[in-house]
Structure 1
Amino acid sequence: MINPSQNTRFFLLPNKHKRKDKIPFDDILYLQGNINYTLIHLYNGKVKISPRTLLYHIQHSLNDSFIRIHRAFCVNKKHLKDTQEVDIKHVTHLFLKDETQLPVSRRKRNALQKL
């Protein structure tokens, strides 16, 4: 049995062998919702697919190191580029450390101000 404190550091992803793969949260750049699937983009460039919605993962799997910036994107705060010189009220895209550019919805800008 997994200790609940350990479970908060790993993303558990079911695999085809009816087991769960443990993905450390630090390895996840962002999650992308695609209808009833979620694409998990990893730091090493790989993409894993989950048969659950993005909302399900936000409610059950993720901890507070992730922030939802768009209806289709949830980003790991640790992989954001430094955005102190950017006016958060007018930002339309966020940049990750690997130069990935993700859109920010107009209604999610308030969540970015709390960063």
Structure 2
Amino acid sequence: MIANTLPISKEILQNRAFFRIKKRKIPLEDIVLLEADINYTHVHLINGGRIIVTQTLKNFETLLCDQQFIRVHKGYIINRQHVSTYDLRKKCVFLTNNLMACVSRRKRAEFVGRLIR
């Protein structure tokens, strides 16, 4: 599904954080991984679904990279709550739903520091 996302926003509704993509409200805890694809972003969800959004990962970074989300690579933003394991040798983080994201050398120290907190 490709969603036009001019009205992307993060809102707090009844003490629950949501991410609005067009007319859908997706709880932030349901987002596992955001993956860059040139001028598109693939939003991977906890239920195994995927939404393709016409926004760059940089736009999502300004909205989501707080305590819960971490940019680990120029192509990935991950949800800290869905981290299963981190392979030090392969420098990859494994997430729920068998998703994987590589961690860049420049982002590794920040990732490990925020993961421990």
Asked if Structure 1 and Structure 2 have the same fold, meaning a TM-score greater than 0.5 normalized by the shorter chain, the answer is: yes
For 1:63 and 1:23, locate their aligned partners in 2 and report how far apart those are by CA, in whole Å.
17
Q: Structure 2 vs 1, CA of residues 72 and 37 (structure 1 numbering), >3 Å: closer, same or farther?
A: same
**TM-score when scaled to structure 2?**
0.76
Amino acid at match of 1:5: I
Q: What is residue 17 of structure 1 aligned with on the other side?
A: none
Residue 10 of structure 1 aligns with which residue? 18
1:1-115 pair list within 5 angstroms: 4-6=11-13, 9-14=17-22, 20-61=23-64, 63-83=66-86, 92-114=91-113, 115=115
> Can you list the C-alpha shifts for 1:26-82, whole angstroms capped at 9, x where unaligned?
111100111111110001111101111111011135543000111010000000015
CA–CA distance in 2 between the matches of 1:61 and 1:45?
A: 20
Per-residue CA deviations over 1:76-107 (Å, capped at 9, x if unaligned) read: 00000155xx65xx551001133322111111
**Structure number having the greater strand percentage:** 2
Instruction: Detail structure 1 runs of 4+ shifted over 3 Å in the superposition.
Output: none
- Any unmatched runs of 5+ in structure 2? 1-10
2-side partners of 1:52 and 1:95: how far apart? 24
For the 8 Å contact 1:11–1:61, the answer to whether it is kept is no
User: Structure 1 unaligned runs (5+)?
Assistant: 15-19
Deviation at 1:8, TM superposition (A): 7.1
Change (3 A) 1:63 1:8: farther
SS in 2 for 1:57: helix
Number of equivalences: 103
TM-score normalised according to structure 1 size: 0.77
